[in-house]
Amino acid sequence: MTAEDQALLQKVETRIRQLLLEYAELRRENAALQAALTQKSDELKQMQETCAALQRDYADLKLARMIEVSNDDLEQAKARLSKLAREVNKCIALMSV
């Protein structure tokens, strides 16, 4: 082999080593990116579950707010029931006479 052939062969070998090193680095980077992607996917799933739970809670709170009885309504209901109870007692008393 001539000196030119040896120099060319050495360049090819050097370039192959460089490519192998770059390949190894890219594999490490790809593995790190895959791990980060998996982590982000898990976080996204957890966030979606949290969002769904919060939406259910919000719907429940909206429903509870719609059927919530205010203090005034409660007092009026108590007064009306008391009045009805007195009227029933009066009717019973009249029937007993």
The model's pTM: 0.54
pLDDT one-digit tens code per residue, 62-85? 887 776 666 667 788 788 889 989
pLDDT one-digit tens code per residue, 8-61? 999 999 999 999 999 999 999 999 999 999 999 999 999 999 999 999 999 989
Cα separation, 40 vs 33, whole angstroms: 10
3-state SS assignment for residue 69: coil
pLDDT score for 97 = 67
Domain boundaries, the chain: 3-69
pLDDT score for 71 = 65
Instruction: For CA atoms 90, 91, 94, 96, give the dihedral sign.
Output: negative
HSE, side-chain direction, 13 A CA sphere, residue 78: 7
